Amino acid sequence: MKKLRLVLVGNGMAGVRTIEEVLKLTPDLYEITVFGSEPWPNYNRILLSPVLAGEQSLQDIVLNDWDWYKSNGITLRTGTTITKIDRHRREVIADDGSVTPYDRLILATGSIPFMLPVPGRELQGVIAYRDIADTEAMIQAAQQYKHAVVIGGGLLGLEAANGLRQRGMQVSVVHLPGWLMERQLDPVAAGLLQQSLEQKGLHFLLGKNTAALLGNEAGRVRALRFTDDSEVAADLVVMAVGIRPNTALAESAGLHCQRGIVVNDTMQTYDPRIYAVGECVSHRGTAYGLVAPLFDMAKVCANHLAEFGIGRYQGSVTSTKLKVTGIDLFSAGDFMGGEGREEIVLSDPNGGIYKKLVLQNNKLVGACLYGDTADGAWYFRLLREGKDISSIRDQLMFGESSIGDTGHEGHSLAAAMPDTAEVCGCNGVCKGSIVKAIREKGLFTIEDVRKHTKASASCGSCTGLVEQILVSTAGGDYSAAPRKKAMCGCTDLSHAEVRLAIREQHLLSIPDVQKQLQWRSADGCTSCRPALNYYLISTWPHEAKDDPQSRMINERSHANIQKDGTYSVIPRMWGGETSAADLRRIADVVDKYQIPTVKVTGGQRIDLLGVKKADLPAVWEDLGMPCGLAYAKGLRTVKTCVGSEWCRFGTQDSTSMGKQLERALARMYAPHKVKLAVSGCPRNCAEAGIKDVGVIGVDSGWEIYVAGNGGIKTEVAQFLVKVKTAEEVMEYTGAFLQLYRLEAWYLERTVHFVSRVGLDYVKSVILQDAEKRRALYEELLFALSGEADPWHQPQAAHVDTRQFSALTV
């Protein structure tokens, strides 16, 4: 089949990114030609500022070198500008007279700097700041001349001014509004910024309006005159007053433009064969000038070009960071505040720190940070996810580390970290390897970094830090900002939508779900299969059939795989109590099967480590104890103290209570592991405060706490209710766990579930609605009724026993 011809006009970040995405999805569908006006391959425009400041070289910022185009079979025509599109004949005509036909056309013409319409703007030495040529002109001017004036105190203007100052020029910044970066900063933060830039040697002329540029005999600029008739000397004038979408080509071809080339959610213009991406685009009335949205657009456009047709671009939330070394500044969302909004402010002008958080309806809607931006990425995440922050409101200002993040204390300033510092403690990834991967592989999103380096791929607690390294290395926050998170790459549906569909459409098997909900891959993936299996069996107990092959190995072999491929076996010991007979049997098993390690666990169990897989069935049988499910997303343990039976302080019989809970809930699968504890008095020796459900005996009854966690982030459980009897403990605990089983996403611990839906919601179901509570408890008992023990009733528990015996040649 003859390949379709795809032509890209604009060899910049958005356009080339689209091509990359197209090649990923369908490497052979198109014969690709790329036109670029500049004489370079695709480079990272955002990093021109560090180049100007002499911190990086031009080679450093090339994203796709010449070889990349060659090895992907792309015809690259640099230094060639397309001047006309003949839509009728489907051809583009270049300034060298050449004619190139297309089947699909992508316009990524970017934006052009806005030049003030003042007399003298055509003089030599008056430039914009947009591309490599401008950057080189500035570097050259800095070697010959002394006085530079930058018009525009926005992000770009300040970066240009700083770069020129670094190169030894005397720089004045002219800015009409009353404070710097008025679109990103409030007046207080802008004042602090101005102060530190002044310390770096910049001069500021605020509230000044340029009237004319004056030239010398040679036709070069020599000064600026303002509307108040004052003048300032200038051998170089950089205009950085704004950009506007470059729509000239599209307009001349009769495409609908309105402050940008108007596109729909699939990035198509009014001519469906012509797509547009990047800064030249107007999407739902917004034109974006930052890189993250451009990459989102590229993904969607490529998806459509690859004829998948399932992606939609729905707009982006953006954040800003100024790339001036030594100045930390971050802003995102609606940082100005105003009516209906609340502000939390920390202001330490002498210490050079200012932070403002803007809240609305218990959600973070804006942030403006100056001096300490360590938590910028975290705030941005909260903002994008629209997370309810009422439970962390009092610590919000003090950052992510204040809410119990362990293991990364003190490692906050990503840029200041040495390359050898460990970032990801799980996978042993240091900063240097992350930076190297970002540079060499051209990574832009946190997902890419995760894939290539494994940093933040395990427990995820270093995600914020990795995001910061990404920001400081690649020059912007590129992480995509989806409104809702798709369950996995196989679908665009979220966990919520999938759960709902399973219930409403009464779906009973994984193939059913995949077919009804139009899964992209025939077989699903390792993320969605276990999730779907859990959703099915929890929604339709005794009706949907468990699929062991869609479970991770531990839940398939009913033991916990170790690094050497052996397994660990943990029998259940109700409430952590054991007996001489059990201990003797355990000892005999250890001897008989030469089990190398016997360890007492944190959940009051005995763990036999290093059991060969082939020995598992015999070990289970010889133990003669119930399966402990110590490997499962399900009820692990109920930890207890000795309670009133022995303890001189005990007020309640916590051991019996724990045993009763454990016997009722044994073999309960859940979205994630579930740990309980029962203490017999408020001294709380069973550590009930960091459990999914913690029960604490007091003289008059039991207090029930939920959603605690002793893991990656230590979270103290929250008080749910105080009850009088053991029966009530059973009912309230069961109802809470059933709510969690039915409404949490797979792999969401109770702490994350409760923080997502809010404790008030949990209370409204469990406490205020007695009928609903009883119904939930009944549902749980029904689901658990007849659940077989996988060690002793393998057939009933759907255990494939063939796995324990090997074939031989």
Partner 1 sequence: MTTWKIICELNDIPRQGARILQRAGMDDVAIFRTAENQVFAVTDRCPHKGGPLSQGMVVGDKVACPLHNWHIDLRSGEAVAPDQGCAARFQVRVEQGQVLMDETELRCGGKA
Annotated binding site for [4Fe-4S] cluster: 641, 647, 681, 685
Nearest to 212 by CA among 112, 123, 114, 113: 123
Is 218 a binding residue for partner 1 by CB under 8 A? The answer is no
Q: Using CB under 8 A, which of the segments 151-159, 468-476, 554-562, 582-590 binds partner 1?
A: 554-562
Q: How far apart are CA 587 and CA 609, in angstroms?
A: 13
Q: Using CB under 8 A, which of the segments 380-388, 525-533, 650-658, 679-687 binds partner 1?
A: 525-533
Q: Which is nearer to partner 1, 371 or 617 (CB)?
A: 617
Of 183, 273, 451, 592, the residue at the interface with partner 1 (CB under 8 A) is 451
Is 561 a binding residue for partner 1 by CB under 8 A? The answer is yes
Of 248, 553, 770, 775, the residue at the interface with partner 1 (CB under 8 A) is 553
Q: Using CB under 8 A, which of the segments 57-65, 174-182, 193-201, 518-526 binds partner 1?
A: 518-526
Residue 553 CB, nearest distance to partner 1 (Å)? 4
Is 408 a binding residue for partner 1 by CB under 8 A? The answer is no
Nearest to 228 by CA among 248, 244, 206, 245: 206
Q: Which is nearer to partner 1, 439 or 441 (CB)?
A: 441
Q: Which is nearer to partner 1, 580 or 806 (CB)?
A: 806
Q: What count of other Cβ atoms lies within 10 Å of the Cβ of residue 785?
A: 9
Is 529 a binding residue for partner 1 by CB under 8 A? The answer is yes
Q: How many residues does the chain have?
A: 809
Q: Which is nearer to partner 1, 179 or 631 (CB)?
A: 631
Of 565, 579, 699, 768, the residue at the interface with partner 1 (CB under 8 A) is 565
Is 524 a binding residue for partner 1 by CB under 8 A? The answer is yes
Token output for 100? 């190139």
Per residue, what are the HEC states of 85-134? EECCCCEEEECCCCEEECCEEEECCCEEECCCCCCCCCCECEEECCCHHH
Binding-site annotation, residues for siroheme: 685
Is 440 a binding residue for partner 1 by CB under 8 A? The answer is no
Q: Using CB under 8 A, which of the segments 254-262, 282-290, 572-580, 801-809 binds partner 1?
A: 801-809
Token output for 544? 């949907």
Q: How far apart are CA 692 and CA 744, in angstroms?
A: 13
Dihedral of CA atoms 327, 333, 339, 343 in degrees, nearest 10, equals -50
Q: How far apart are CA 579 and CA 600, in angstroms?
A: 15
What is the full DSSP assignment across 641-702? Answer: --GGGT-SS--S-HHHHHHHHHHHHTT-B-SS-EEEEEESSTT-TT-GGGSSEEEEEETTEE
Q: Using CB under 8 A, which of the segments 123-131, 555-563, 625-633, 744-752 binds partner 1?
A: 555-563
First to last CA, the chain: 46
Of 522, 579, 648, 768, the residue at the interface with partner 1 (CB under 8 A) is 522
| Residue keyed to tokens 């994008």 | 384
Is 494 a binding residue for partner 1 by CB under 8 A? The answer is no
Using CB under 8 A, count the residues that bind partner 1.
30
Q: Which is nearer to partner 1, 112 or 525 (CB)?
A: 525
Is 508 a binding residue for partner 1 by CB under 8 A? The answer is no
Q: Taking the CA atoms of 18, 19, 24 and 26 in sequence, report the sign of the dihedral they define.
A: positive
Q: How far apart are CA 406 and CA 401, in angstroms?
A: 8
Q: Which is nearer to partner 1, 60 or 523 (CB)?
A: 523
Beta strands 236-239; 147-151: pairing state = parallel
Q: Which is nearer to partner 1, 335 or 534 (CB)?
A: 534
Is 441 a binding residue for partner 1 by CB under 8 A? The answer is yes
Is 549 a binding residue for partner 1 by CB under 8 A? The answer is yes
Q: How far apart are CA 33 and CA 14, in angstroms?
A: 15
Burial code (b: 16+ CB inside 10 Å, e: under 16) for 560-584 equals: bbeeeebbbbbbbbbbbebeeebee
Dihedral of CA atoms 450, 419, 327, 475 in degrees, nearest 10, equals -40
Residue 442 CB, nearest distance to partner 1 (Å)? 12
Q: Which is nearer to partner 1, 524 or 541 (CB)?
A: 524
Residue 437 CB, nearest distance to partner 1 (Å)? 9
Is 563 a binding residue for partner 1 by CB under 8 A? The answer is yes
Encoded amino acid at 507, one letter: L
Encoded amino acid at 530, one letter: P
Of 83, 395, 601, 803, the residue at the interface with partner 1 (CB under 8 A) is 803
Of 62, 317, 480, 552, the residue at the interface with partner 1 (CB under 8 A) is 552
Binding-site annotation, residues: 641, 647, 681, 685
Q: Which is nearer to partner 1, 551 or 572 (CB)?
A: 551
Q: Which is nearer to partner 1, 238 or 632 (CB)?
A: 632
Q: Using CB under 8 A, which of the segments 259-267, 677-685, 705-713, 799-807 binds partner 1?
A: 799-807
Long-range contacts formed by 544-550: CB under 8 A, 24+ apart: 544/508, 544/509, 545/508, 545/509, 545/798, 546/798, 547/509, 547/510, 548/798, 548/799, 548/800, 550/510, 550/524
Q: Using CB under 8 A, which of the segments 107-115, 270-278, 497-505, 551-559 binds partner 1?
A: 551-559
Q: Using CB under 8 A, which of the segments 45-53, 277-285, 399-407, 545-553 binds partner 1?
A: 545-553
Is 795 a binding residue for partner 1 by CB under 8 A? The answer is no
- The neighbouring-strand residues paired with 718 are 706
Is 452 a binding residue for partner 1 by CB under 8 A? The answer is yes
Q: Using CB under 8 A, which of the segments 11-19, 153-161, 560-568, 743-751 binds partner 1?
A: 560-568
Q: Which is nearer to partner 1, 350 or 808 (CB)?
A: 808
Residue 385 CB, nearest distance to partner 1 (Å)? 25
Is 802 a binding residue for partner 1 by CB under 8 A? The answer is yes
Nearest to 392 by CA among 696, 673, 767, 718: 718
Is 228 a binding residue for partner 1 by CB under 8 A? The answer is no
Helices (H), 593-647: 616-623
Is 520 a binding residue for partner 1 by CB under 8 A? The answer is no
Encoded amino acid at 152, one letter: G
| Residue keyed to tokens 């993320």 | 527
Burial code (b: 16+ CB inside 10 Å, e: under 16) for 139-156 equals: eebbeebebbbbbbbbbb
Q: Which is nearer to partner 1, 135 or 550 (CB)?
A: 550
Is 71 a binding residue for partner 1 by CB under 8 A? The answer is no
Residue 591-620 contact track with partner 1, rule CB under 8 A, x = bound: ----------------------x-------
Residue 470 CB, nearest distance to partner 1 (Å)? 16
Is 806 a binding residue for partner 1 by CB under 8 A? The answer is yes
Nearest to 713 by CA among 434, 417, 468, 409: 409
Residue 557 CB, nearest distance to partner 1 (Å)? 7
Q: How far apart are CA 348 and CA 371, in angstroms?
A: 10
Is 521 a binding residue for partner 1 by CB under 8 A? The answer is yes
Is 459 a binding residue for partner 1 by CB under 8 A? The answer is no
Residue 329 CB, nearest distance to partner 1 (Å)? 33
Is 560 a binding residue for partner 1 by CB under 8 A? The answer is no
Q: How far apart are CA 516 and CA 401, in angstroms?
A: 43
CB 741 within 8 A of CB 670: yes
DSSP assignment letter at 624: -
Q: Which is nearer to partner 1, 411 or 529 (CB)?
A: 529
Q: How far apart are CA 10 and CA 294, in angstroms?
A: 13
**Could you list the residues that contact partner 1 (CB under 8 A)?**
441, 451-452, 521-526, 529-530, 549-553, 556-557, 561, 563-565, 613, 800, 802-803, 806-809
